[in-house]
Structure 1
Amino acid sequence: MPSEGHRSESRGVSELSSILAARGEAVTRCLDRLLPPVEGPRGRVVAAMRYSALSGGKRLRPFLVIESARLFDVAPEAALECAAAVEMVHCYSLIHDDLPAMDDSDLRRGRPTVHRAFDEATAILAGDGLLTEAFAVLADPRCHPDPAVRTALIAGLAAAAGAAGMVGGQMIDISPQRADLDLDGITGLQRLKTGALITFSCEAGAILGGADAAARQALRAYAEDLGLAFQIIDDLLDYESTPEELGKPTGQDAVLGKATFVGQLGRAGARSRAEALVERACAQLEIFAEKAKLLEETARFVLERRT
């Protein structure tokens, strides 16, 4: 994986996109190595796991693991397995979110969702497989030689993925009361459903790097605001983009009657809120000085994304 270093001048969108893509390709290679081979009686579920995990995507969460770890001089290669584990959990959540019992979506990352490409039962098991495989990766000494670090990573990911994080957020998201949420309620929901794993991604880098409490808190605050900004832009894209651009259906929030940031604030108000969150997120990185330049640029890049 190439090392770009940190520098004072800002990168352009195309250069940052190239760095994100390079990190994403490294994560994909790592996922390909870590996931089981497609063979024997279990081959169908493994094929579904691989179909989801190796299908590309933004790879934002593993990127945040790698770049947060770099703040503490952890080489990108040393953070790769942890980053891949985080992406496994993200992919599991997408598989389950797309199920007929959840969002009932037919398209993800520009191709049929797992339950459409395989079947519903296989999709459920593939999600389960990716979730549990992530913890196996974190428990392996190849992820980190120190058992205490591995334990901290496992505990942190479990908290982010469970009822106090993603699962809890998804429960609120599919509840009948979702349509009646006010702005505070939507914010709370998205801090769990979307924000919890983004926040853990930055915390994981700090854990790998042996960061002190102040550094960990700064990264947590950065990630919490970044996660909300990311979701607000996602809401805007649901209104403004096409399925071809996004690689998934658009207009779904309105069809499902979900309260969103755009519905509460309007498009201009939602974008203004996202911009304010990004500014606040970047301010949290000041303690890292120039080392955090790429994380700062990533936050601003979120505002410009079209997928």
Structure 2
Amino acid sequence: MKLTILGCYAATPRTISNPTAQVLEIKNHLFLIDCGEGTQVQLRKNKIKFSKVNHIFISHLHGDHFYGLVGLLSTFMLLNRENDLHVYGPKGIKEIILLQLRASGSYTGYNLYFHELISKESEIIFEDEKVVVKTIPLKHRVYTNGFLFQEKNIKRKLNLEAIESYKIDTCYFQKLVYGGDMKLEDGTIIPNEVLTSDPDPEKSYAFCSDTVYNEDILPIIKDVDVLYHETTFLDSEEHLAEKTMHTTAKQAAKIAKLANAKALIMGHYSTRYGSLDPFKEEAETIFTNVILADDGKTIEL
């Protein structure tokens, strides 16, 4: 699992920073999470193949989280994209995007599917045999969701030494990795746990931006491996965080600690600050494993 931060600053793009967008690589998927202005430029800078992005998750309809989407969709068309594209986001995103495409006489030569979200409860919005994605209802000035990405490691590991000792043919390997027992020619049953071992622990990643401090999300993100949580302000501007329905560095660290997260990635910084170091310093007074997001940063989860 690998995370590439394309942009992690609040409000407006600058020459030295970009609004929110990131790419999560998990189980052969490339998931684009939010799509602020300049996202397609950042995709190119970070050498991420456009054609591998088949699912885009938009947290909410504030411009710094989705104004880059229509441009990216248009570029996909210019690149003669053929793969289906799925966009998950709040109700209204389909109308906004299709209006822009129609007004500009644009079209997509590929199938474009919108999955509009309205539920205020956590729900599964994507699932296949390898990954499940759930919403994390957040509290912001408009309807907003975070997203929880979880691996599904259902295949067990083969114990090749044991398999060789019982002279088991490779044609039975598929049965074994999915938990089946083995019946030998003499009728002896070899339990699966003798021939395999447990799969690797399933990793998880939670994306939470934008939101006021909200402990209601704790049951959803409990024991998450890596939590990305917005930290728009420092503790000295807590009054601004409350007014604008954002979070401070200390508050994000408290959420990470209460959730028993293994690591906290901070981002969505207000551009009022000249240095990011105080964000890490404040968070580390509450939670130890803190990572500062920054544009272009790649993090192996």
TM-score by length of 2: 0.30
Higher strand residue share = 2
Higher relative contact order structure (alpha carbons within 8 Å, sequence separation ≥ 6)? 1
Higher helix residue share = 1
Larger radius of gyration: 2
